[in-house]
């Protein structure tokens, strides 16, 4: 049994935030049907660094987050397409979309109409700024939200500031927030029998992740200072140079700091008035770092990682992406799974990161080719082969 067995999700989303939400539902066993535009489908099908896959409408950006889903093409601008969608809605538990606010209403499927069709439906709308407010109608991509949320203001260092995160963090977190909200709404429905509407904004979703930084400003009255790889909450805590590269060290507790001094062979720093206590170390971090790096440069990153971890001082190498993705720990955790796509071959894709003891998640099917399941789904809805052929001839599907 899967956690979301017999839960049907209609996925009208594109690119990243929405598909990332529905990916989590699909990995948990939901029957996720991507409702896509005939001929083109999800824009992410044409995004990625492998031109041949883009031409096949199977771009790497699409492959990354559409495992375990089905693809149905449907032109919702036609009356026939709308009628099929109404039939689908009656069979659905969840509808997720990430259009600009108002698009679904203009197609004839306002929240009120969705409720009339299926009172138990959980409807989740994901957008840059939410369904209301002065910015609701504005277009938004991840980088725009990074800038408006303040997250670019807390990244970088004095030389490179502001600085965006190296991956679309706002889209991704928005998708996670939506998946969490959908699960909560399904739980509420189990208790009450009632569906509801969920309004997810990427801007809302990312800002609570900066809770500590925001609290320092809203409560403590202190603006963030761009500190690069240093951790503002403690010192020494950040990235340091070694003989052959770099190392992350997080000596955030007093005992860890004192043990660090002993391991590095600089016990005198423990009684240096600049570094004795946490707050003074933070204030004098730029004096402290070169004193530590003189010692760290005497040996390799691997040596120091083993020596420091053995004393309970959190530390680690700073890996390149390939080494991180293929590390022994990631293999052990089965964070990445293999799935075969008949025309492409084996694909390495992320599995669900949560480990359930009774209902483990798994990748059971590769991301679908555009319209791969249209005939199957329409047949299930009761349409005949002749009716399906007629719909194809009219470009409804």
Residue range 215-256, pLDDT digits in tens: 999 999 999 998 999 998 899 999 999 999 999 999 999 999
pLDDT single digits (tens) 172-211: 999 999 999 999 999 999 999 999 999 999 999 999 999 9
CA distance 266 to 274: 14
CA distance 333 to 195: 35
What pLDDT is attached to residue 377?
Answer: 98
**Are 96 and 10 spatial neighbours (Cβ–Cβ below 8 Å)?**
yes
Question: Which residues are CB-contacts of 103 (< 8 A; sequence separation ≥ 6)?
Answer: 97
**Residue count (the chain):** 397
Burial of 349 (0-12, 13-18, 19+ CB in 10 A): buried
Is residue 171 annotated as part of the catalytic site, yes or no? yes
Catalytic residue among 171, 230, 259, 317: 171
From the list 32, 35, 33, 30, the residue with the least C-alpha distance to 12 is 35
From the list 49, 32, 68, 64, the residue with the least C-alpha distance to 348 is 64
What pLDDT is attached to residue 361?
Answer: 95
What pLDDT is attached to residue 147?
Answer: 97
Q: How confident is the model at residue 373 (pLDDT cuts 50, 70, 90)?
A: very high
Report CA Rg, the chain: 25
Q: How confident is the model at residue 53 (pLDDT cuts 50, 70, 90)?
A: very high
From the list 31, 96, 19, the residue with the least C-alpha distance to 70 is 31
Kindly state the percentage of the chain with pLDDT values over 90: 98
CA distance 207 to 330: 29
CA distance 209 to 285: 25
Q: How confident is the model at residue 313 (pLDDT cuts 50, 70, 90)?
A: very high
What pLDDT is attached to residue 268?
Answer: 97
What pLDDT is attached to residue 355?
Answer: 96
- Give the mean pLDDT of 365-394: 97
Domain 246-317 has CATH 3.30.1540.10: yes
Task: Compute CA distances 69 → 330, 335, 351, 366, whole Å.
Answer: 24, 19, 14, 8
How much is the mean pLDDT over the chain? 97
Q: Which CATH architecture has domain 8-208+331-393?
A: 3-Layer(aba) Sandwich (3.40)
Residues 364-377: b if buried by 16+ CB within 10 A, e if exposed:
eebbbbbbbbbbeb
Alpha-carbon 135 to chain mean position: 23
| Pairing mode, strands 345-350 and 336-341 | antiparallel
Edge-to-edge strand list for the sheet holding 94-97: 69-73, 31-36, 8-11, 94-97, 122-127, 196-201
Domain with CATH 3.30.1540.10 in the chain: 246-317
What pLDDT is attached to residue 283?
Answer: 95
- Give the mean pLDDT of 299-311: 98
Determine which of 225-234, 243-252, 335-344, 383-392 has the lowest per-residue pLDDT on average. Answer: 225-234
Q: How confident is the model at residue 151 (pLDDT cuts 50, 70, 90)?
A: very high
Domain with CATH 3.40.50.10540 in the chain: 8-208+331-393
Q: How confident is the model at residue 90 (pLDDT cuts 50, 70, 90)?
A: very high
What pLDDT is attached to residue 275?
Answer: 97
CA distance 371 to 212: 45
What pLDDT is attached to residue 328?
Answer: 97
Q: How confident is the model at residue 152 (pLDDT cuts 50, 70, 90)?
A: very high
CA distance 227 to 161: 10
- Give the mean pLDDT of 93-113: 96
């Amino acid at each position: 049994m899967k956690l979301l067995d017999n839960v049907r999700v209609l996925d009208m989303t594109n690119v990243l935030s929405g598909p990332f939400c529905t990916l989590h539902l699909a990995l948990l066993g939901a029957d996720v049907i991507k409702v896509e535009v005939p001929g083109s489908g999800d824009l992410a099908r044409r995004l990625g660094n492998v031109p041949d896959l883009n031409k096949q409408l199977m771009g790497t950006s699409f492959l990354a987050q559409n495992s375990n889903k089905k693809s149905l093409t449907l032109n919702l601008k036609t009356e026939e397409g709308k009628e099929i969608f109404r039939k689908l809605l009656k069979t659905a538990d969840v509808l997720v979309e990430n259009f600009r606010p108002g698009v679904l209403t203009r197609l004839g499927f306002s929240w009120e109409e969705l409720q009339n069709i299926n009172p138990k439906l959980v409807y989740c709308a994901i957008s840059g700024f939410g369904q209301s407010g002065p910015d609701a109608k504005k277009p938004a991509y991840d980088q725009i939200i990074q800038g408006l949320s303040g997250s670019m203001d807390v990244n970088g260092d004095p030389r490179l500031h502001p600085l965006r995160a190296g991956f679309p963090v706002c889209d991704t977190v928005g998708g996670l927030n939506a998946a969490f909200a959908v699960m909560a709404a399904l739980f509420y429905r189990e208790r009450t029998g009632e569906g509801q509407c969920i309004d997810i904004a990427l801007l809302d979703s990312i800002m609570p992740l900066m809770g500590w930084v925001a609290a320092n400003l809203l409560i403590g009255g202190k603006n963030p200072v761009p500190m690069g790889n240093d951790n503002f909450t403690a010192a020494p805590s950040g990235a340091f140079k070694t003989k052959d590269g770099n190392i992350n060290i997080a000596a955030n507790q007093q005992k860890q700091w004192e043990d660090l001094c002993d391991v590095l062979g600089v016990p005198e720093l423990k009684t240096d008035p600049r570094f004795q206590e946490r707050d003074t170390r933070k204030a004098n971090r730029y004096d402290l770092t070169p004193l530590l790096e003189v010692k760290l440069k005497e040996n390799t990153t691997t040596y120091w990682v083993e020596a420091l971890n053995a004393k309970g001082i959190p530390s680690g190498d700073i890996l390149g992406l390939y080494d991180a993705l293929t590390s022994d720990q990631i293999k052990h955790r089965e964070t990445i799974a293999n799935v075969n796509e008949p025309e492409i071959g084996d694909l390495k894709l992320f599995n669900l990161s949560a480990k359930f003891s009774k209902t483990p998640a798994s990748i059971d099917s590769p991301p679908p080719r555009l319209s791969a399941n249209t005939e199957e789904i329409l047949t299930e809805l009761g349409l005949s082969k002749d009716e399906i052929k007629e719909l194809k001839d009219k470009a409804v599907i």
